[in-house]
Amino acid sequence: MFLNHCVLNQCKENSHLFSFPMLSSWYAHTGYARTGSAHTEFAPEMGRFVVMNLDLLVLLPFQIGLVLLTAHALGALAQQVGQPRLIGQMTAGLLLGPSVLGTLWPEVHGVLFIRGQTPLLALVGQVGLSLFMFGMGLEFRLSGWGELLPKALRIATSGFVLPFLLGCALALLLLEGGAEYFGAVPPFIATCFLGLALAVTAFPVLARMLQEYGSIHSRLGKLVLPSASLGDGAAWIVLTIILALLSAGTGTLALELILIALYLVLLGLGTQPLLNWLWPRVAEAVRSFVLLALLFVSVYLSEKVGLHAVLGAFLFGLCAGRSEAGRSTVTHTLLKRLEPFILNFFLPLYFAYAGLGVTLGQLSQPSAWSLLLLIVFLASLGKVGGCFWAARALHMTVPLALAVGVLMNTRGLMELVLLHIGFERGIITQKLYTLMVLMTLITTALTPPLFTALRRRFPQLEVN
């Protein structure tokens, strides 16, 4: 359903963000497939796919190379100044996008990133993102946290509810602006989505940051990581509900909800028995390919029922983690081998691609920059304030509670995925998408210097 229409709908809005577009639909609507032209069209019975234009085959590797070189160069530069690599990689997309390159050298930008060709970059990035989310789901565990679980749950709840409510209040204010910030979606969905966008914490970015600071095994790290993980889990649940309601609103409500429920039940109850049955019956040499095949079946089905590919990958990993396959050395060896390629190839493409969708030209009015400051303030107030209040209620010291709040205000991959979904599904407009991506950059960039200042002022934060 969504796969067949996302590219067409977003191209009409000059969008840069797409999720697993069907190439047949894309070519049909962008003019690359015309009967009798040099761009040969397959017969309908052959799947309506078309032969790729030679220019695409030449340009795509060049786009990937340019984006990767820029992303890694700026990512390394960001690390040198104490920032996460994500900041530099997103900045690379912003520099290569319409805001900088498109303004300074529009002819060059028009050749490199012409309309209709950047979705292929998104396709490459989304494949890697699905693999990454599968790994996250596979390793997501509530066990092993012991006595920290109740504390983490309270911090995660407070750090989720307060920014969610502030985001909902902001959405109600922005809805008065008509179609400037939200698409043609029910106000309830728009309100809940913006609330969720302010409530997300970037667990992977936070884990990497704590590891670089050597704080991952400190009492602070052992408390913050479970809190962030629980918060992300809650975010996925809320996002699933939002997408289910959005999908149900485009067709027969009962049918859409039944399909989503069947998919979730099939995934939840069928994945573990299926993998336990298959694993001993499949040769060890092909077990990895069987697991990946089932992963992409889940990704496909999640799109077909109206959810999202990322959710399908994460949920499959979550369910597979309880099976014999999820606990096997074959699976963990596969993830270990894929990890460098995902982190150094796929995810930089995805981060840079998110930056390509930012259009600073839409923020020409002073009111837009005032709104950006308001969004940053509300997002930080909700996260830092909510987590600080919960930590103080657990009798933590003021410095430790403040450090928890500052770290939980980190955003990154999860936020970008959420904004990507909202943009491509038409929940938010490109203007609000730009504002929210900039908020993500600012709040994530503020975390390292604030946390460093706290560590220097209060060395006891590092006590193991």
For the segment 346-376, what is each residue's pLDDT rounded down to a tens digit?
888 887 777 777 887 777 788 889 999 999 9
Q: What is the pLDDT of residue 331?
A: 78
**Over residues 182-209, mean pLDDT:** 87
Q: What is the pLDDT of residue 347?
A: 81
Higher pLDDT, 233 or 53: 233
Most confident of 33-42, 204-213, 382-391: 382-391
3-state secondary structure the chain: CHHHHHHHHHHHCCCCCCCCCCHHHHHHHHCCCCCCCCCCECCHHHCCCECCCHHHHHHHHHHHHHHHHHHHHHHHHHHHCCCCHHHHHHHHHHHHCCCCHHHHCHHHHHHHCCCCCHHHHHHHHHHHHHHHHHHHHHHCCCCCCCCHHHHHHHHHHHHHHHHHHHHHHHHHHHHHHHHHCECCCCHHHHHHHHHHHHHCCCHHHHHHHHHHHCCCCCHHHHHHHHHHHHHHHHHHHHHHHHHHHHHHCCCCHHHHHHHHHHHHHHHHHHHHHHHHHHHHHCCHHHHHHHHHHHHHHHHHHHHHCCCCHHHHHHHHHHHHCCCCCCCCHHHHHHHHHHHHHHHHHHHHHHHHHHHHCCCHHHHCCHHHHHHHHHHHHHHHHHHHHHHHHHHHHCCCCHHHHHHHHHHHCCCCHHHHHHHHHHHHCCCECHHHHHHHHHHHHHHHHHHHHHHHHHHHHCHHHHCC
Average the pLDDT over each of 37-46, 117-126, 335-344, 443-452 and give the range with the smallest value: 37-46
Residue range 120-462 in CATH 1.10.3720.10? no
Domain boundaries, the chain: 120-462
Higher pLDDT, 23 or 337: 337
For the segment 143-167, what is each residue's pLDDT rounded down to a tens digit?
556 667 788 889 999 999 999 999 9
Q: What is the pLDDT of residue 255?
A: 74
For the segment 65-97, what is each residue's pLDDT rounded down to a tens digit?
888 899 899 989 988 888 888 788 888 888 888
Most confident of 116-120, 208-212, 307-311, 414-418: 414-418
- pTM for this prediction: 0.75
